[in-house]
Structure 1
Amino acid sequence: MSLSHALLGLLAVEPRSGYELTKAFAGDLGRYAWQAGHTSIYPELARLAERGLVAVTGEGARGSRTYSVTPEGYAELRSWVLSPPSRGKVRNEEVLRMFLLSALDPADALVVLRRIVEHAAEEGARLRKLVDDAPAAIPAGSAGFGYLAAEFGARQFEAVHGWAQWAIEKLEAAAAEPA
């Protein structure tokens, strides 16, 4: 995944300024999917403009620029979203921590797993409420932006919650077995 594709996607939904893009990354997008700040967003917008993937479509106060995705930018976004995810280098801190749980004392592993249960329950419930409060039909355009991602996230947290409870049961059962 790349910042350029995230920016193209946001701009395909609606034209935005660099400031508005920065605010989008400061919200749920940055919390759950991809973090980026203004120090990386503005240079990437310039690169995208140089490549003809975005264009400045408005200028406002204090040099503010509104960007829109170009047809070439939309084609790039579409190509990226429709292609299979890259299976190159993977860096997932949460999965690495799960690999390393067995290096801890079982009591410490249980502490970690109980935190995961609590966190997954809280975040899953928060996202589930967002989805449940949304209209029955997925709204088109910017109104529906994030709806599918919120449902994905809610289901992901539900799965993590169930997995962590299962792992706790396994560790507790192993601890109860005679040595």
Structure 2
Amino acid sequence: MSLRHAVLGLIAEMDGASGYDLLKMFEISLGNVWPARQSQIYGELGKLLDAGLIEVAEEGPRGRKAYRITESGRAELHHWLVDVRSKGSRKDEPLLRVFFLGLVEPEEAQRYLRGHAAGLEKYLDELAALEKGIDWGEDDLSVYGRLVIEYGKRYAAMRRDWFEWASHEIESLNDRGHGQKQPPGTREDSSAGE
């Protein structure tokens, strides 16, 4: 997903929204799946204007501008939604670190895993508060926004559960004597005593 299409999609949904309106909607909706700073959003508005994908619908006091999507913008958004295949990201830094947790003490590995589980629990609480704080309707932003929040809740719960499970696995391995660090230059195999 690109910030370009996120901003373009919000403008299509919120005809006549200002940059400030878009920023606030971004924070409560898309910010959970594609975070962006104010400067990035305003920068993208300028690029979309230059590309003819949006236009200024009206100008108000203190330079406030309300935007609307153009026909070219709708065509671009439609093309991205239905024709461009999602790339998806296979990069996951927390799991990359898990892969190498054998290089640290088991207690450190468990602390790392439990820390992620606790962080995900906090994120689930934030999503629940966000969900309660939104006045849901039957409009597209509400319908599809609820789908996205539900995905976030299920994904975070699955990851939290997995990190907790992995921490227990390390604990049980440690209890059975597996994963003990060997001093440099020693061997664990059957030829170690020869």
TM-score, length-scaled by structure 1 = 0.81
Computing the radius of gyration from Cα coordinates, the structure with the larger value is: 2
Tell me the amino acid that sits aligned with residue 111 of structure 1.
R
The residue aligned with 2:112 is 112
Secondary structure of the corresponding residue to residue 57 of structure 1: strand
Shift of 1:129: 6.2
Shift of 1:67: 1.1
Residue by residue, what CA displacement relative to the aligned partner does 1:35-94 show, whole Å, maximum 9, x if unpaired? 22232222221111122211111111111111122232223223223332225x865443
Pairing 1:104-143 to 2, within 5 Å after superposition: 104-128=104-128, 139-143=138-142
Query: Cα 1:10–1:163, aligned 2, differ >3 Å: closer, same or farther?
Result: same
Q: Does 1:23 align with 2:28?
A: no
Counterpart CA distance in 2 for 1:109 and 1:84 is: 37
Q: Is there any run of 5+ residues in structure 2 with no aligned partner, and where?
A: 179-194
TM-score, length-scaled by structure 2 = 0.76
Shift of 1:20: 2.1
Query: Cα 1:52–1:152, aligned 2, differ >3 Å: closer, same or farther?
Result: same
The residue aligned with 2:35 is 35
Q: Is there any run of 5+ residues in structure 1 with no aligned partner, and where?
A: none
Query: Cα 1:160–1:134, aligned 2, differ >3 Å: closer, same or farther?
Result: same
Shift of 1:110: 0.8
Query: Cα 1:27–1:140, aligned 2, differ >3 Å: closer, same or farther?
Result: closer
The residue aligned with 2:49 is 49
Secondary structure of the corresponding residue to residue 56 of structure 1: strand
Worse overlay, 153-162 or 20-29: 20-29
Is contact 2:28–2:130 with CA below 8 Å preserved after alignment?
A: no
Tell me the amino acid that sits aligned with residue 178 of structure 1.
G
Aligned-pair Cα RMSD in Å: 2.8
Q: Indicate the percent of aligned positions where both proteins have the same amino acid.
A: 33
Secondary structure of the corresponding residue to residue 174 of structure 2: helix
The residue aligned with 1:163 is 162
